[in-house]
Amino acid sequence: MSKPTVGIFGLAGCSGDQLVILNCEDRLLDIVALVEIRDFLTASSQNDTACPLDVALVEGAVASRHDAERLQAIRARSKVLVALGTCAVWGGVAAMDRGLDRKKLLQEVYGETEWEYDSVPTQAVREVVPVDLNITGCPIEKEHFLAALAAVLNGDVPLYPQYPVCTECRMRENNCLLVERGELCCGPVTAAGCDARCPELRVPCVGCRGPARDANPSSMLAVFEAKGFTREQIAERLKTFAPEGVTA
């Protein structure tokens, strides 16, 4: 059997998810033995930019017409498209632009210019093209990437936790930052998978993995409000990494 062909792409983002792939130092040479990486601009100057791909890994959000065109071209040549990281899955921090006047934001950064920049309101990958698998995280967890790769190679689909960070945090027997210290911790409504990294370090969860599917937002809202936080404060925090974090 020939090796599956893979492309790794970055849209508007910090390249953190591509970096996580490169951070698999102990596995990197095994990975290139198992799959054929045909298109990976960040790592290679010899890329086939048109060949069909079995798997496309896309990080970053769409923030320009150029990004959208690239993404459509990637979708057209790929059997499986994986959205890699919170920006690709939810829009990420740049999607805080939702509801704001993009022209004004641009003007604030660049001043009055005689020319127009190619810049559009930030969108997640699935808002532009169909996505086959979402791997969230800002950045993604190395183990989640490796599990996805192993699953795809074996014709399987990886499973990721749908429960909130609180579940993992309780399993680590941490003191609760929200209930015991009154801190605005997003753990109750944020997707787990990080092993409660931040609360383990006594740092409140900032919601970088986006909303958890199996959370109980209405009861959590009551807990937050009992601790003196307003709905606006909570919504403001939850939409930092995922504008939809707030719809709940």
Partner 1 sequence: MSTLVIGPLARVEGHGGITVEFEGDTVKDIRFDVPEGARLLEPLVRGKRYDEVAPILSRICAICSVAHTLTSLKATEDAFGIKISPQTELLRELMTRGESIESHALHVFLLALPDYLNYPSATALAADKPAAVTLGLRLKKLGNQIQETLGGRAVHPVNAVVGGFGRVPTFEQIITLRSSLMQAVADCDAMIDLVASLPATDFCHSDTLYAALRSPHLDTYYSGDEVMLLSDGNRAIVSAPDYRTFTNEKSLEHSHSKHSTFRGSPFMVGALARLTVNPRRLTGRLAVAMKRLKLVLPADNPMDNNKAQALELLNDVDRALDIIEQLLRDGLKDERPVPVHPRSGTGTGITEAPRGLLVHSYTYDDGGRIVSADVITPTAMNAASLELHLRRAVEQCGERDDTIIAKRLQMIARAYDPCISCSVHLVRRA
Q: Which residues are near partner 1 by CB under 8 A? A: 10-20, 22-23, 25-26, 28-29, 32, 37, 40-47, 60-67, 92-94, 96-97, 100, 102, 105-106, 108-111, 113-119, 122, 138-139, 197-198, 200-203, 206, 208, 236-237, 240
Phi, psi angles (nearest 5°) of residue 204: -60, 145
Of 47 and 216, CB closest to partner 1: 47
CB of 127 to partner 1, least distance (A): 14
CB of 99 to partner 1, least distance (A): 11
Of 78 and 122, CB closest to partner 1: 122
Of 33 and 157, CB closest to partner 1: 33
Enumerate residues 6+ apart whose C-beta is below 8 A from 46: none
Enumerate residues 6+ apart whose C-beta is below 8 A from 114: none
Residue type (1 letter), 180: E
Enumerate residues 6+ apart whose C-beta is below 8 A from 166: 187, 188, 192, 196
CB of 157 to partner 1, least distance (A): 26
Of 19 and 213, CB closest to partner 1: 19
In whole angstroms, what is the distance from residue 149 CA to residue 133 CA? 11
- Two structure tokens written together for 208: 């970088």
Q: Other C-beta atoms within 10 Å of 238: how many? A: 25
CB of 82 to partner 1, least distance (A): 18
SS3 of residue 177 by DSSP: coil
CB of 156 to partner 1, least distance (A): 25
SS3 of residue 5 by DSSP: strand
Of 98 and 216, CB closest to partner 1: 98
